[in-house]
Structure 1
Amino acid sequence: MDIRRYHHDHGEIATQIDALRTLSRAGVAENAEEISSRIVAFASRVKFHLAAEDQVLYPTLARAGDPDVAAMGAHYQQEMQGIAEVFADFVGRWRVPSRVKADPEGFRAGANTVLRALFERLQRENRELYPAAERV
C-alpha cells in the first residue's frame, strides 16, 4: 500500500503542533487570536487525515489477508476514536480567542495533554502501523 500521503499529513500535523507550541511559549494570552485561528486550521487537517484513514487505510488493512495486520489496524482505529473525542473537545473549547486569553494556563495544560497524545500517536503510527501497511 502506498502511504506517502499519510506520511505527508503527519509532517504537516507535526508542523502545526510545533507552531502552536511556539506561540504558547511566546505568550498564550498575547497570541490568543493566532492560537485560536491555528487550532481551527489544525482541526481541519486532522479531521481530513482521520477520514482518509477511516475510509481507505483501515479497510485496506482489514482486507489484507494477514490477521496480525488486520488486528493492528482495528486496534489503532479503535484507539484513535478516544483520542479524536478528546481532540474535538479541545478544539471546541479553545477555538474561541476570548477563552484562550481568559485562561492561558488552562489552554496550556490542555494543549500539553492533547497535543502530546496526538504527537505520540503520530510517532507510533510511523513506527508500527505504516510499515505494516507498506507491506500490504
Structure 2
Amino acid sequence: MTTALINTAIYREHHANVSKLVDRIEVLLTAPATASDPGPLTTAVRDLFGIFAVHLSLEDKALYPRLMTHPDPALRGTAARFQAEMGNLRARFDQYRTRWPGPLAVARDPAAFVSETREVVTALKQRIAREDHGLYDIIDHSPLMGAA
C-alpha cells in the first residue's frame, strides 16, 4: 500500500473563501436596496455557487474516494456519513439555483429570495463548520494518516 498523506489545507482554504463570500452575502441580505436592486446579491450568490461547485467536485473526485478506502474504519464511517449528507445539501442547492436563476426571478419575489438565501447560507455555514471540525480535524489527527 502506498503512503499518501491527505492534506486538508486546500479544503480548508476553499472553506475560507466560501465563508468570505457568505459574509458578503449576509451583508447584502440586510441591505434595504436588495429588494429594488438584487443584482449585487445575485452576483455574490452566483460567485458562491461557482466556488462551491469546484470545492464539491474536488471533494467528490479526490477526497472522499480516498477516505472511503482508508484503513481507519472510524474515518471511513465518518466520511461515508458526510458524503451522504452532502447529497441532500447539494439537492437543496440545485433546487435553489433553479428557482432563482438571476435578477429577473428575484425581482418577482425578493422577500422569498432573501428568505431562501438565508436558509441556504445557514445550511452551508453549518456544513462547513461540521466538515472543518468533524471531518478535517479527524483526518489531520488520524494515527493512520500516512497509510491512506
**TM-score, length-scaled by structure 2:** 0.86
1:26 paired residue number: 31
Kindly provide the CA deviation profile for residues 3-40 of structure 1, in whole angstroms up to 9, marking residues without a partner as x: 11000000111111111111111132234111111222
Alpha-carbon shift at residue 95 of structure 1 (Å): 3.1
Count of residues in Structure 1 that have an aligned counterpart in Structure 2 = 136
**Whole-Å Cα distance in 1 between the matches of residues 59 and 119 of structure 2?**
23
4+ residue runs of structure 1 moved beyond 3 angstroms?
none
Kindly provide the CA deviation profile for residues 110-135 of structure 1, in whole angstroms up to 9, marking residues without a partner as x: 01211101100100111110012223
Which structure 1 residue ranges, 5 or more long, are not aligned?
A: none
**Whole-Å Cα distance in 1 between the matches of residues 109 and 23 of structure 2?**
21
Kindly provide the CA deviation profile for residues 92-113 of structure 1, in whole angstroms up to 9, marking residues without a partner as x: 2223102222212101210121
Q: 1:122 aligns with which of 105, 119, 128?
A: 128
**Whole-Å Cα distance in 1 between the matches of residues 98 and 24 of structure 2?**
19
**Whole-Å Cα distance in 1 between the matches of residues 29 and 37 of structure 2?**
7
1:87 paired residue number: 93
Q: Which has the larger radius of gyration?
A: 2
1:7 paired residue number: 12
SS of the counterpart of 1:64?
coil
2:119 paired residue number: 113
Could you tell me which amino acid in structure 1 is paired with residue 45 of structure 2?
A: I
- Aligned 8 A contact 2:35 2:111 in 1: no
**TM-score, length-scaled by structure 1:** 0.93
- Cα RMSD (Å) of the superposition? 1.2
Could you tell me which amino acid in structure 2 is paired with residue 21 of structure 1?
A: E
Alpha-carbon shift at residue 43 of structure 1 (Å): 1.0
Structure with the higher helix share, 1 or 2: 1
Alpha-carbon shift at residue 74 of structure 1 (Å): 0.7
SS of the counterpart of 2:36?
coil
